[in-house]
Structure 1
Amino acid sequence: MKVDTMRAIDRYVGIPLCFAVSWAFRIKEKLFRPKAQKPKKVLFVELSEMGSAILADPAMRWLKEQGCELHFVIFKSNAVSLDLLKTIPSDNIYTIRSDSFVTLTTDTLNFLKWCRKKGIDTVIDLELFSRVTSLMSRLSGAVNRVGYDGVHEEGLYRGNHLTHPVMYNPHMHISRNFMALVRAALQPAGEPYQRQLITQDEIDLARAEVSEKDQQKVIEKIRSLYPEFQPGKQRLMLVNPNASDLLPQRRWMADRFAEVIRTVLADYPDVLVVITGAPAEREGAESLKAAVNNHRCLNSAGVFLFNELVPLYSISALMVSNDSGPPHFASVTDLPTYVIFGPETPSLYGALGHSTPIYAGLACSPCVSAGNHRKTSCTDNQCLKAIYPEQVLNAIRPALDPVIVKTPVQSLEADLQKAQKAKTEEVS
């Protein structure tokens, strides 16, 4: 199903349904007031964003440490993102197909049965003001329902379904907003303001475990593309020129990616550039490879399975990417990532871990937000056109340039030479 179709369903079907369901439950709860219950079996709802499933992991781990059993519902196409850190057991993950309105409706109705079978008592809605997930939370049977509340914002109506409303803070990174939600779940129902400090330590990501066997499989696949590859002698620079259809305006121009790649290959003879992507993106990756026209530029779109990405990241030197899923997946490793932002802002959606944003910061950027359901009418993304290859090259060169480590003797000689030069200049 197209993204705009899902947005239309959420708006034109979701709003009247939210209104009707709110009043129906208001009448019911006047007659049968539900008993308060401490969260034990908690369900997270995040359907459409693979990266958000990674950004929410610190919050999920925190709640798990409080003794809660965790569950998750997500679109089937995005469920693989939960495999990276395995915080949620596979038996506790429910997937919904989004390929058509019929499968979406059928799976959602079955989801409501699944919630009752699992005994879900608490739902935490990670989506930003989605009406569909608001309805799913209300109809799940959970006593505690936690989610973002518009407070005094207008135009974000999605019913009165929350027992624990939380003010969404558009000036705070989304991982901290997620942490505010889980903290609210363990507090009495009440006002939406979370008067607590959330520190950087609390949102640090765990690291994925990578075996030498998995790394070796990845090395063999790279050798199938470039037989001369020798780990330790040649470095891998990953390039992700893709972005999902949710926001195609995030794509930096292909000719600029090509210029960056050509320059890197010319300046660093030990570097191999690996263009990554899904099978459906192979044609575009092949066009980029042809534009570069260098045997050390490889097209790996569709070559690596999702569970092979982390091993690939673990043996690579750096990644250059559009603002999309791969930098978030790479954040569970130590790989340095350089992410090109345009209609989004790194202040809210920057990848955790060793990530450097490249951002022009135009007056109109970001043009997508929680308030407009991350939809923009922009057809001329100057926010990305304002970023030139030289700026990207300047950002990544420190990761590519060799680090010269001085021995004590070399350091002493350098200091003496510097002092002698200063003395000579002073005399003259």
Structure 2
Amino acid sequence: MKVDTMRWVDHYVGVPLCFLLKLVFWPFDRIHKGQKTVSNNVLLIELSEMGSAILADPSMRWLKGQGKTLHFVIFEKNVTSLQLLNTIHRDNTFLIKPDNLFSLAISSLKFLIWCRKKKIDTVIDLELFSRFTAILSRLCGASNRTGFDRVHEEGLYRGNHLTHPVMYNPYSHISKNFMTLVRASQNTPYQPYQKEIFDESIQLARAEVSSDLRSSVITKLKSLYVAFEPGVQRLVLVNPNASDLLPQRRWMKDRYVDVIRTLLAEYPDILVVITGAPSERPEAEILRQRVKHERCLNSAGVFKFKELVPLYSLSELMLSNDSGPPHFASVTELKTFVIFGPETPALYGALGNSTPIYAGLPCSPCVSAANHRKTSCEDNQCLKAIDSRQVLDLLRPALDNSLILKAG
């Protein structure tokens, strides 16, 4: 299903459904208002953003530390992001299929049955004001329901079904907003504002590197560049992709070409590896052909998702658009340099060893929770304002420093 179709359904179908469910459950809510319930089996909902599943991991590990049994529901195409750190057991993960309205409805009904089998008593909606997830939260049978709420703000109505409504803070990093939600879900009495400092809790775990997968990655790299030897050539990863959710995040291809050509000319020991999913291979190939250099490799579709961690562990740095890979890389020590435009790193910057590249124009960010991350911008000057020279000035010191360490 197309992203705009999902947004349309969420608004024009979701709003009236949320209102009707509020009327239906009103007597029940009045009777049970103020009653304390136990929180043991916790369900987290984050459907659409693979990167957000990584950013929520510190919050999930905090819940596990409280002795809670965790469950997760996510769109089928995004589940691999959950498997990087394996905080949630696979048997406790439910996949919703959004291919079309029929598959979405059927998998949603199966999800509601699954929730009862798992005896879910607490649900935490990590989505930003989605009516669809509000409906799932209401119908899943959980007596404790936590999610972002407008509190005193206007708009973004989704039925007032929450027992623990929490104010979304648009000035705080999303990982802190997630931590606010999970902590509020366990507080009795709770309050919609977080008045506790927990920066030390916002730390990502490090993923383990499988020796077998590392060997597989090396073999595949040698198939792309026969002379590759770990420790001899340094790998520079380039991710020029961004999901269809927000295509305005893509930096200009000609500037990627300029950066790659310059790096290859200045550093004879590096290999530039263009990464991406199988569907992104044709675009990656166009970029490789424009660079036209034997040390520029197209690996889109070559590596399986489970091979990303060993690939990152072998690499020197990554240059990327604001998309999933920098968040995946944040579970390793890899240095990432991430180009931001329609979104701001203050809210969605990767938690790892990451450097944001951001022009900070007055119109940026133009996407937010209030507009469901949809912008009418057709001229992303926020990215055009970032030139290749600026990016190279950030990449060169990282490569120079690693060369000194390598020589020493």
The TM-score with structure 2 as length reference comes to 0.97
The residue type equivalent to 1:174 in the other structure is I
The residue type equivalent to 2:67 in the other structure is G
Q: Percent identity?
A: 66
Counterpart for residue 16 of structure 1: 16
Counterpart for residue 80 of structure 2: 80
Q: 1:3-25 CA distances to partner (integer Å, 9 max, x unpaired)? A: 00000010000000000101111
Q: Is 1:270 matched up with 2:290? A: no
1:40/1:266 Cα in 2 relative to 1: closer, same or farther (>3 Å)? same
CA distance, structure 1, for counterparts of residue 57 and residue 319 of structure 2: 23
Please give the secondary structure, in 1, of the residue aligned with 2:95.
Answer: strand
Counterpart for residue 280 of structure 1: 279
- Give, in angstroms, the shift of residue 82 of structure 1: 0.5
Counterpart for residue 370 of structure 1: 369
Q: 1:157-180 CA distances to partner (integer Å, 9 max, x unpaired)? A: 001100001111111100000000
Which sits farther off after the overlay, 226-235 or 393-402?
393-402
Alignment of structure 1 residues 106-185 onto 2, 5 Å: 106-185=106-185
CA distance, structure 1, for counterparts of residue 193 and residue 35 of structure 2: 23
CA distance, structure 1, for counterparts of residue 388 and residue 198 of structure 2: 36
CA distance, structure 2, for counterparts of residue 33 and residue 170 of structure 1: 29
Q: 1:346-393 CA distances to partner (integer Å, 9 max, x unpaired)? A: 000000110000000000000000011100000000000000000110
- Give, in angstroms, the shift of residue 258 of structure 1: 0.6
Q: 1:96-144 CA distances to partner (integer Å, 9 max, x unpaired)? A: 0011000001101111110000000000000000000011001010010
The answer on whether the counterparts of 1:323 and 1:340 sit within 8 Å (CA) in structure 2 is yes
The answer on whether the counterparts of 1:50 and 1:325 sit within 8 Å (CA) in structure 2 is yes
1:317/1:403 Cα in 2 relative to 1: closer, same or farther (>3 Å)? closer
The answer on whether the counterparts of 2:184 and 2:190 sit within 8 Å (CA) in structure 1 is no
Look at both structures and tell me which one has the larger radius of gyration over its CA atoms.
Answer: 1
- Give, in angstroms, the shift of residue 39 of structure 1: 1.1
1:387/1:141 Cα in 2 relative to 1: closer, same or farther (>3 Å)? same
The answer on whether the counterparts of 1:164 and 1:189 sit within 8 Å (CA) in structure 2 is no
- Total equivalences in the alignment: 405
Please give the secondary structure, in 1, of the residue aligned with 2:87.
Answer: coil
Q: 1:40-63 CA distances to partner (integer Å, 9 max, x unpaired)? A: 000000000000000000000001
The answer on whether the counterparts of 1:272 and 1:297 sit within 8 Å (CA) in structure 2 is yes
CA distance, structure 2, for counterparts of residue 154 and residue 30 of structure 1: 24
- Give, in angstroms, the shift of residue 404 of structure 1: 7.9
- Give, in angstroms, the shift of residue 399 of structure 1: 1.2
CA distance, structure 2, for counterparts of residue 403 and residue 337 of structure 1: 14
Alignment RMSD, CA only? 1.3
Counterpart for residue 256 of structure 1: 255
Counterpart for residue 317 of structure 1: 316
The answer on whether the counterparts of 1:163 and 1:189 sit within 8 Å (CA) in structure 2 is no
Counterpart for residue 188 of structure 1: 188
Counterpart for residue 421 of structure 1: none
Q: 1:229-285 CA distances to partner (integer Å, 9 max, x unpaired)? A: 011110000000000000000000001001000000000000000000001000000
Unaligned runs of 5+ in 2: none
Counterpart for residue 89 of structure 2: 89
1:344/1:124 Cα in 2 relative to 1: closer, same or farther (>3 Å)? same
Q: Is 1:212 matched up with 2:211? A: yes
Please give the secondary structure, in 2, of the residue aligned with 1:146.
Answer: strand
The answer on whether the counterparts of 1:38 and 1:186 sit within 8 Å (CA) in structure 2 is no
CA distance, structure 1, for counterparts of residue 34 and residue 121 of structure 2: 12
1:404/1:228 Cα in 2 relative to 1: closer, same or farther (>3 Å)? closer
Please give the secondary structure, in 2, of the residue aligned with 1:42.
Answer: strand
1:303/1:171 Cα in 2 relative to 1: closer, same or farther (>3 Å)? same
The answer on whether the counterparts of 1:34 and 1:143 sit within 8 Å (CA) in structure 2 is no
CA distance, structure 1, for counterparts of residue 194 and residue 231 of structure 2: 49
The residue type equivalent to 1:251 in the other structure is R
Counterpart for residue 390 of structure 1: 389
Counterpart for residue 41 of structure 1: 41
Unaligned runs of 5+ in 1: 407-428
- Give, in angstroms, the shift of residue 38 of structure 1: 2.3
CA distance, structure 2, for counterparts of residue 377 and residue 335 of structure 1: 34
The residue type equivalent to 1:312 in the other structure is L
CA distance, structure 1, for counterparts of residue 305 and residue 184 of structure 2: 34
CA distance, structure 2, for counterparts of residue 405 and residue 303 of structure 1: 31
